[in-house]
Amino acid sequence: MERKRKRHRGGAASKRKSRVRREAHKSSRESLSDPALLALRDAWKSLAILERGKRLAPLIERYSLRQLACLLNCSEARIRQLVDLTKLPPEAERDLREGRMGVKRALKLVRDLRADEQRRRLIATDAASRQKLIEGGARLIVKWILQLLPETYAVQFLGIVEGEERGPAGEIFLKFMPKPYMNRPSADPMRIIRRCRPKYERPGFAPDLLNFCIAWWAAWGPRVMPDPQVRAAAVAAAERCLYSRIYVGGLAG
């Protein structure tokens, strides 16, 4: 019986791979019939770097990075970089054309501008939007910390991290807090949290576990909530929520 199940799983996997290959082959045939893409391939080596990006930009909407990289004989990362360069401000584009700015510096500028725009989207100005961010952040904090600490220790943890780099755990915050350009607030928060987990094994001893949690929060909190006021309010709201669950809930019971 087990052998039959394995054969069935193997057959299903083989069918999936065949379907993917057929779709890739079909897509490749379609791309080869696109005059704009064929013209770009023929002129590729003679084009300047900015011109390559500008001619790639409209094709990104119709083809995957893999398709374009395969046809143009370069990496997917290179395709992405060329398209990123089309997002330079006019002054920076002129500096790149005239050799006053290198490609590496230009790409960093694009990343910084993108991060600034993402932060602006997440830093709300009206009271209703800010409150929504605070409440969502508080729920996320409570869900995360209760997977690591009991409620009473979780309240203690939130009291410690309220001051961030100016609080009792300031040294840990200064070590693990990200630089502003590293923030990617548009990404999935749970994915950011998982990625920011400290690389060492979770300790079993309570004080070490508390430091583990502080280091983890210092890494993911500013990435998910880049506005320090929203972040502080979310921590305070999470602390009130846990305090209510422990003491008010306990008295009601």
- For 246, counting Cβ atoms within 10 Å of its Cβ (0-12 exposed, 13-18 middle, 19+ buried), the class is middle
CATH number at residue 91: 1.10.10
> Nearest Cα to 235, choosing from 151, 129, 147, 154?
154
Residue 121 clears pLDDT 70, i.e. is over it: no
Residue 97 clears pLDDT 80, i.e. is over it: yes
Instruction: Of 69-73, 75-79, 115-119, give the lowest mean pLDDT range.
Output: 115-119
100 & 143 share domain: no
Residue 142 clears pLDDT 50, i.e. is over it: yes
112 & 8 share domain: yes
- Residue 129's pLDDT is what? 80
- Residue 7's pLDDT is what? 52
163 & 60 share domain: no
Collapsing DSSP to helix, strand or coil, 109 comes out as: helix
Average pLDDT value for residue range 216-228: 87
Of 118, 137, 169, which marks where a domain is finished? 118
247 & 132 share domain: yes
Cα(25)–Cα(245) distance, integer angstroms: 58
- Residue 181's pLDDT is what? 45
Residue type, 23: E
Contact criterion met (CB below 8 Å) for 147 and 82: no
> Nearest Cα to 50, choosing from 6, 111, 1, 92?
92
107 & 131 share domain: no
| Residue 174 banded pLDDT, cuts 50, 70, 90 | confident
pTM of the model: 0.51
Q: At what angle do helices 103-122 and 76-85 cross, to 10 degrees?
A: 70
Contact criterion met (CB below 8 Å) for 59 and 44: no
150 & 66 share domain: no
- Condensed to tens digits (0 to 9), the pLDDT of residues 6-64 reads 454 555 555 554 554 454 445 444 556 788 888 888 899 899 999 999 999 888 888 88
| Residue 167 banded pLDDT, cuts 50, 70, 90 | low
Domain that holds residue 93: 2-118
Give the total number of structural domains in the chain.
Answer: 2
Of 81, 98, 118, which marks where a domain is finished? 118
Mean pLDDT over each residue of the chain, to the nearest integer:
80
63 & 173 share domain: no
For residue 207, what are its two tokens?
A: 């004080």
Contact criterion met (CB below 8 Å) for 95 and 101: yes
Better-predicted residue by pLDDT, 211 or 9: 211
